Copies of this chain bind each other. A is one copy, B any other.
Amino acid sequence: MKEESATWGHAPPKLMTMAMLPIAVTLIAHPLLPLLLPDNILNLLPDLPPQPTFPALQASIGFSFLSFLGIVWTVPSIAQPFADKGLRGRDLCKPGGRESGPWVPECMGLPLACWYIALMMLFIPFPFSHMFTPRKGEEVGRETFPQAELSLYLSSLLSLFTATLLGFLDDLFDIRWRHKLPIPLIASVPMLLVYYSEGGLTSVVLPRIADKWLSAAGLHVGRVVNLGPLYYLYLILVPTFTTNAINILAGINGVEAIQALVIAASILLNDLLFLPIWPRSFLIALGGVGNPHEGRLLHWAAGEVVKRHLMSSYFMMPLVGGILGFLWHNWYPARAFPGDTFCYFTGMAFSAVAIQGHFSKTLILFFIPQIFNFILSCPQIFHIVPCPRHRLPKYSEATDTLSPSVAEFTKPLTWPAIIILRIFEALRLVRLTREVEHAAYNGKGSTKQVSTRSGRIISCTNMTILNFLLVNFGPMRESSLCTLLGAIQVGGSLVAFGVRYGMASWVYGGDRR
């Protein structure tokens, strides 16, 4: 079994490793020097570069290099034992397909998660490093140590662990849906308690227009509405959404990883925009990002918002590195599959930083393609339109391309199904096949005909974003489809930034964070 076209990871890049390792070590060690060496030795060192403004952020870049290298080197060495335990799958969009496609090790999100969590555990002391060299007269103790900040890190790591373990068990044992359901709820208890302990902001700012409407309806709730326990319900739903969103948009080489990469990079970019490192003119040129009336700039001095976005970037930096390392093996032709572990783990990482950093609504904006995919899928998920077992695009060995897979309708369709199909067709979301009756010279006959406006619908392309792309852009290679989806994810993030920084100030007015 194993010999038969099994491919366990690509070879790791030796030269790149040799180049990256010393850079990583330098980036991490540099901010540690003042802590480890006494002043008189430090003064002897010739021309040491000055300490960075954000020492922990610099170390974080070093950790992201380590995260990249760790996963690049781990996958090939652990693929075999994983495959031996049944953690492997056929690559379906390759010659042979479901029957004899190449074996690829599954669940390679686990080494990524383990590396990442281990690195983050080692990283935790860095943001607190100023506490290790107390100034004269200061004493480190429960009074002076920023305990609240520490519990943010600890509870985020706890949630990541829960997601990883759950994902791994799911990959191993295919846990039933109803058994999985309560787990994100349990996993979010520590995070919510920490959120509560932090002051537990549960109010939302209403858009000006909503306030106007509500006032017109006689409900004078004001611009700031305290949702109370409802807000915690929303906070529980965020991880449930993010952990499943990527999992649903899956199936071709690299597609889970490219989504996660773009989302992580978008969060990171958003975090960096909040750091006081940009010239004011640049922010204003970005179209109101640095609008001084937006309140954000004015709060820089307070530090709280900066701190939260710093923490978020500490988490995202090594994640970007790790996902890039994973893509090394997962990019077409894939030599490693992510498994549920990858989707749960990355999804939980996004939720954790967004909840703790108070930007969960911005986060959801970064999931535009996933939300589109989910809405598109709804008619099939809820069985209004018949849904085949697999909805992956169809691989054609002759052309080495993917084309949309279809759902064949053997039974007559219900009228809601027909309405949905017609609307989706008009919006170019699906392509329908119709049976057109016509008079042939030897009597009655029928021909299948694509995309005519009349006749009985006998099949439709499956309702996923991948099939939607193939319908509109025509058949293409697997790697092209993955790249296209990555581009769309980038486009989604651009829209998200536009909404967050452009429209938001227009919709909400000035007084928001």
| Interface of A toward B, CB cutoff 8 Å | 78, 81-82, 85-86, 114, 117-118, 121-122, 124-125, 128, 131, 140-142, 145, 147-148, 150-151, 154-155, 157-158, 161-162, 164-165, 172-173, 183, 186-187, 189-190, 193-194, 196-200
Contacts and interface: CB of A to CB of B under 8 A. Distances in A.
B199 A141 contact: yes
Contacts of A78: 173
B196 A150 contact: no
Contacts of A140: 196-197, 199-200
B122 A193 contact: no
Main secondary structure of the interface of A (DSSP, over half): helix
B147 A187 contact: no
A351 to B, nearest CB: 16
Contact of A154 (B86, B114, B158): B158
A165 B161 contact: yes
A131 B86 CA distance: 48
A165 B114 contact: yes
B154 A189 contact: no
A79 to B, nearest CB: 12
Task: List the 7 closest pairs (A to B, CB-CB), nearest first.
Answer: A147-B147, A154-B154, A145-B197, A161-B161, A142-B148, A141-B199, A151-B151
A124 B196 CA distance: 13
A86 B128 CA distance: 44
A189 B126 CA distance: 12
A150 B197 contact: yes
Given A125-B193, A148-B147, A186 B154 contact: no
Contacts of A200: 140
Nearest to A113: B165
Given A85-B173, A121-B162, 18 more contacts: A85-B85, A85-B86, A114-B165, A122-B186, A124-B193, A128-B193, A140-B197, A142-B148, A142-B198, A142-B199, A147-B148, A150-B151, A150-B194, A154-B155, A154-B194, A158-B161, A161-B165, A164-B165
Contacts of A117: 162
A253 B195 CA distance: 45
Nearest to A154: B154
15 contacts: A85-B172, A114-B165, A121-B187, A124-B190, A141-B198, A145-B148, A145-B196, A145-B197, A145-B198, A147-B150, A147-B151, A150-B194, A151-B151, A151-B154, A154-B190
A37 to B, nearest CB: 15
Contacts of A164: 165
A186 B85 contact: no
Contacts of A150: 147, 151, 193-194, 197
A510 to B, nearest CB: 25
A397 to B, nearest CB: 34
A133 to B, nearest CB: 13
Contacts of A158: 121, 154, 157-158, 161
Contacts of A172: 85
Contacts of A165: 114, 161, 164-165
Contact of A121 (B82, B114, B186, B196): B186
A145 B147 CA distance: 10
A186 B118 contact: yes
B189 A125 contact: yes
A151 B125 CA distance: 14
A182 to B, nearest CB: 9
Given A81-B173, A142-B197, A147-B148, A121 B154 contact: no
Contacts of A183: 118
Contacts of A131: 197
A424 B492 CA distance: 74
Contacts of A85: 85-86, 172-173
Contacts of A157: 158, 190
Nearest to A145: B197
Nearest to A165: B165
A70 to B, nearest CB: 12
